[in-house]
Amino acid sequence: MLKWALIFLVVGVVMAALGFGGIGGAFVGLAKILFFLAIAIFIIFALLALFAGRKISDAL
């Protein structure tokens, strides 16, 4: 997902530099949404792994 965020960011900056500011801004906004979504998913999975690891070690 971070790969797609970076692609959208680069495409948006190139489009804005070429004069297509409206659609370039939309691409940059989409890149920002994808970036924060990836960070949120990472935090959720890290917490799940932490709590699942504790449950497994408690069961042993």
**What length is written for the chain?**
60
Per-residue pLDDT tens over the stretch 12-46? 999 999 999 899 999 999 999 999 999 999 999 99
**Quick one: pLDDT at residue 36?**
96
**Quick one: pLDDT at residue 25?**
92
Decide if pLDDT at 60 tops 90: no
On the CB side of 17, CA atoms within 13 Å amount to 6
Residue 28 near residue 14, CB atoms below 8 Å = no
pTM for the whole structure: 0.77
